[in-house]
Amino acid sequence: MKRKKIKNTIKLTALHITFIMICLVCLVPILYALSLSFSGSSSALSSDFHLIPQDFTWKNYQAVFTEKPFLMWLKNSVILSIGTMILAMGFAVSAAYAVSRYRFKGRRGLMMTLLMLNAFPQILSMFAIFRLFKTMNLLNSRIGLILVYAGSMCIFAIWNMKGYFDTIPEEIEEAAKIDGAGDFRIMAKIVLPLARPAIIVTAVMVLIFVWNEYLFATTFMLNESSYTLAGGLYQLQASDYSRSWPLFTAAAVMVSVPILVIFFCIQKYMVSGLTAGGVKG
């Protein structure tokens, strides 16, 4: 018995050490980028590999705020992310609840069609959307980009929310109906509070997608003043003459900070919000 206990302890210790080593290896690129953001311009071209900056400086972070329109890019990203999140979740929550609770003709075909549309790469639709936006005068428009993002993320949101609504027992809603509650009250007072983990996680996933997306942002936003953070980062390293890796990594670290803060705030909802929505189709 004692030998078996020692054997299990050794196995668990080896497993923990393996996982810690994997985590450390995965952190190396992030730590190197963080180190480079605090280094002088010559450090990026050096053949030596250092995780601790040799010539520590704050100038790269200072340059991001003073020499680049970083705050303008941040404002554009915040408007697009929040606008897309509100629009996508508004449609997705109501649509997912209807598909989960009501049985109507074409319900399964509708869900399969949405899933199939999501399988195609977004770049396939880019040319058609560009022509459409040009005709409707929506190029360089935040509204146009919000419509594209919301349409793209609605499919994921509907599928994830439907899976979570399926886990909520219908008997709770039937009991509320017997007590005289209407559909709107049941939705507002019972269903939405119970589905809060899935709503929060799905909304944050939509927000992260918009925050990091640059393909549509750099195609449909043609002026530097309308770039998002991802589009601005792309412009920082696009030119061979103005490219500065320490400046680029400093901007990349600043772009990542808001998402990291949001992630740590909602991490307690991540497991229940994603697994419950993902396991039921």
For residue 105, the SS3 value is: coil
Which of 186-200, 223-237, 249-263 bottoms out in mean pLDDT, i.e. has the lowest? Answer: 223-237
In whole angstroms, what is the distance from residue 255 CA to residue 212 CA? 9
For residue 58, the SS3 value is: coil
Burial (CB count <10 Å: 0-12, 13-18, 19+), residue 115: middle
> Residues with Cβ < 8 Å from 61, sequence gap 6 or more?
37, 250, 254
In whole angstroms, what is the distance from residue 162 CA to residue 158 CA? 6
Output 13-21 pairs: Cβ under 8 A, ≥24 positions apart.
none
Q: pLDDT tens-digit profile of 83-102?
A: 999 999 999 999 999 999 88
Beta-carbon neighbour count of residue 32 at 10 Å? 14
Q: pLDDT tens-digit profile of 143-173?
A: 999 999 998 899 989 998 998 898 888 888 8
> Residues with Cβ < 8 Å from 159, sequence gap 6 or more?
96, 111, 114, 115, 277, 281
pTM over 0.85: no
